[in-house]
Amino acid sequence: MFGSLSRVVAGVSEKWLSGSKLTSHRNARAAKFILPTSLCSPVPFMILWNAMGAALVQPIYFYSIIRSKATLRDPTIPLNEAIALFITTLPTVLFPLFLFTPAWLNYSSWDHQGYIAVFQGTPFLMVVIFVASIAVLLPRHGIVSMKDAKNPNVDKPWIVASFVMSGTIAAAVHIYTIFRSFTSTNPDTALTRLFIPSPSKVNSFSAPSYNPTLTSTALPAGYHVLLEGCHLFTQFDWIIVALSCVVFTHYLLTNPAGNDAKTSLQKISAMEMRELAYLALGAVILGPGAAGSFALAIRESRLREQTASRKKI
């Protein structure tokens, strides 16, 4: 579930970034920074990482966002889109329950596979919820909420709340898992077993010395090889997702306006190195989804402060 929740951070942040597209049409300065068509919605990428794994797709997705200059924009977005994003965040972070609830409730393998198939379509459901929220807000805000010059940051609380909500839920899941790992006597739930990849474990079941009668389930070796292979895939998936979230959010946190001036380690300040260390520590303690979400919430304030400073100049 860690990987799924941290992927939600990408979906939330990209929806937030792409939400500025409507604002950009009303702002000639920002018009040239409209996202490429392929990045205007997170849905295609979410479908890909649901089907192929986040470790393969998410780093490319984050890199594409940075290289597209998506962060060079007016930080505010229409109020109705900000509210709709908040409404959409809660069901979105709960979508991974389609994967895990059948296992918790001991559903049949057939039913479990059915729910996994449903999970593959959740990116479309996210869009439906978002559009439905816009429709509900239509009588009061219209299709696009006009910016209030006296209160330009009226959308900020909704954006920050979306990040905080996703981060809180991701942190709760991660901390609960760590807690159960410490309190359980089952060796299969030890921290090293959960998080540290062990390819040799997969090979051990195909070794000539393997005896299925010595295992608790006495199942064929092929079953255990498949099970351990899936577990190994999940471990590497989590590691790569965690690293990509830390690097991506650190870049956005230290470059809130999308400034590419700092491109080498020699140019990173001591404060930025501390923030990177805090992000890495947060990813370990709270999980990458939580660390990334909370960092993006902080970045939201920095981005608007920088924009206000430039306007004064």
pLDDT at 171: 93
CB environment 120-131: b (16+ within 10 A), e (fewer): eebbeebbebbe
pLDDT at residue 37 tops 70: no
186 Rama sector, left if φ>0, alpha if ψ -120 to 50, beta otherwise = beta
pLDDT at residue 71 tops 60: no
Residue 2 · residue 176 · CB < 8 Å: no
pLDDT at residue 52 tops 70: yes
Neighbours of 74 (CB within 10 A): 18
Tens-place pLDDT, residues 168-201: 999 999 999 899 888 888 888 888 888 888 887 7
> Model pTM?
0.76
The percentage of residues in the chain with a pLDDT greater than 70, rounded to a whole number, is 68
Query: Rg of the chain over CA atoms, in angstroms?
Result: 22
Instruction: Give Cα 296 distance to the centre of its chain.
Output: 11
More confident residue, 247 or 49: 247
Which of these, 9, 2, 66, lies nearest to 293 by C-alpha position? 9
Could you give the CA distance from residue 297 to residue 202 in angstroms, rounded to a whole number?
40
pLDDT at 24: 36
- Could you give the number of structural domains in the chain? 1
Average pLDDT of the residues in 293-309: 79
Which of these, 293, 279, 240, lies nearest to 13 by C-alpha position? 293
pLDDT at residue 164 tops 90: yes
More confident residue, 119 or 148: 119
Averaged pLDDT score across all residues of the chain? 75
Range of the structural domain that residue 94 is part of: 2-312
pLDDT at residue 256 tops 80: no
> Of the ranges 9-13, 151-155, 296-300, which one carries the lowest mean pLDDT score?
9-13
Positive or negative torsion for Cα 147, 152, 154, 158? positive
Confidence of residue 41 (pLDDT cuts 50, 70, 90): low
